[in-house]
Amino acid sequence: MHAHGYGPHVPPAPPGGSYVTLRVLFVVLAVVTCGFLAWAAMLRLALVTRTVRDWVLLAVVVAVEATAVVLVVIDPGDEEFTGSGNTGMAILVSTLVPVIAYYLTMDIRHFSRVARQVRAAAFAQTQTPPPYQQTQFAGGYVPRQPQPQPQQPPPQPSYGYPAPQPGPHAPPAPARIDQVRAELDELSDYLRKQEGGN
């Protein structure tokens, strides 16, 4: 007899709270530093998505911010920024909004796609039939039905000639098929008894 085994393993859904916390942390870090650390959000995005586009954009943001920092550092003003310092700060602040917008959009899109893939994998696992395992009845005794004998062909008229006999190379009767047939008969009898009892 065969019975259902253990159910399929469903992978857990990714925790959404930690993603939101990291998003808020990187956005706050970029805003508090007036865009100076906006590259950190792009670095995290490139590490998470691993796409060439995000690595290229990270390199562009680092280059733009490095240029802005150089302009701020070489500014000759003592207390207030003059021409180059103002230009550097304008570059930092102007890159802040596009970097944050791109980071949030792509990060949310990436993890939404991951969540959909996890749900699809979990759904596919629930649709596959579970593996079968051999079990026995509670009493430990599985009744066996007699195996059917192979059918003999009806006798043919000989018309005065001897009937042909099977040669020594005749294939043996398929014993495994008979065993499977007996087990299926046994299962159907058991199911009929169960339906009759209910």
Q: How confident is the model over 16-45, as pLDDT tens digits?
A: 568 788 889 999 999 998 888 999 999 999
pLDDT for 129-159, tens place per residue?
A: 555 555 555 555 555 555 666 666 666 655 5
pTM of the complete model: 0.53
- CB under 8 A, 24+ apart: contacts of 161-167: none
